[in-house]
Amino acid sequence: MSESFVGRSPGPRVVPKPDGTLVAVSLGSNLGDREAWIASGVQALRRDLEDVRLSALYVTAPVLVEDQPLFLNACCTGRTRLTPHQLLSQLQDAEQAAGRDRTGPRFGPRTLDLDLLLYGDEVIEDSDLVVPHPRLRERGFVLIPLAEIAAEWIVPASRQEEAESVGSLAERVGSDGIRILGALDE
């Protein structure tokens, strides 16, 4: 990766860089045609991101709510000219378009789950959005695919955590219950 990312705390308003801000987004699905839902998520992301890089698909065991189907997971990176909150809104719109039902259990089954993991080197903590994603550092099903395409990206320090590379975090968390499936047929 040509850019160096070092954690810092932003001011109250985060704006994208003129040439776009590099972001990382996770994609997941465990209902219906999981691969088609992931593909629809990638298509939605391509409307708001440039220079998109997509990991392989991974089959992963559910976390927290275990009595549900296996997930397909992937990650992508790209540049956006949207603010973090604008991008979050676009992600939620794409989930809704895919029939995402938010009335069930919090970590239950879903057609499409899109999470904003990283927004450049920003640390954002407000009532609507926390970046880096608050559970990024503990989720192998996110870190393994993200390390495939952005292992050197430094996850910024937060109040509780030190800055550390995606690859280092992925090694520490490990890949138990995670199996690579292969490239997404777009």
Active site residues: 100, 110, 113, 115
Q: Which residues pair with 54 in a beta bridge?
A: 76
Size of the chain in residues:
186
Q: What's the Cα-to-Cα distance from 87 to each of 74, 119, 183, rounded to whole Å?
A: 18, 10, 25
Q: Which residues contact 136 (CB under 8 A, 6 or more apart)?
A: 117, 118, 142, 143, 155, 169
Quick count: other Cβ atoms within 10 Å of Cβ 181? 15
Q: Which residues pair with 125 in a beta bridge?
A: 130
CA distance 104 to 86: 25
